[in-house]
Amino acid sequence: MKILLISDTHGKNDIIDKLYKLYPDMDLYLHAGDSCTEEYALFPFTTVKGNCDFDYNMNERFFTITPYGNLLMKHVPNLSEADLKKQNIKIYIFGHIHERHFYKKDDIYYICPGSTSREKDKYPEGYMILEITSDGVKGTFFDL
């Protein structure tokens, strides 16, 4: 399973079409919140509501089953390891912090693609591609 992952576009959504044209054959396109636009404008990306998406009626969470296990996406990374284990989450995707993260702890992958619109500290604007198999998750960051 291949996923194109972005977050925190903050209204700079021209990247949506560019990335879709670059990667037309992904299994899933995910946006981890703070798009600052209507959900329909993000096609083909599935998004969650970010803290800056206060005027939009979006879901707070996205859940799906992958070959590796349950995937949960929220904008703000406010779930504890105990909460994730209780829900049997194996892949936890979040945005909000504008910093790239990809690590595995106690059989759970924690993933943040960074931001496509506002770099923070040493992290350039960018996105991520996830490759998920039953054995695990491979994540690759790309700069814009």
pLDDT digits (tens, 9 = 90+) for 35-47: 999 988 899 999 9
Sheet holding 28-31, edge to edge: 46-47, 28-31, 2-6, 126-133, 136-143
Is residue 42 classed as helix, strand or coil in its secondary structure?
helix
User: 121: pLDDT confidence band, cut at 50, 70 and 90?
Assistant: low
Domain ranges of the chain: 2-143
Q: What H or E segment, with its residue span, contains residue 16?
A: helix 14-22
Q: What is the CATH code for 2-143?
A: 3.60.21.10
Q: Give the global pTM.
A: 0.95
Residue whose token pair is 């779930």: 79
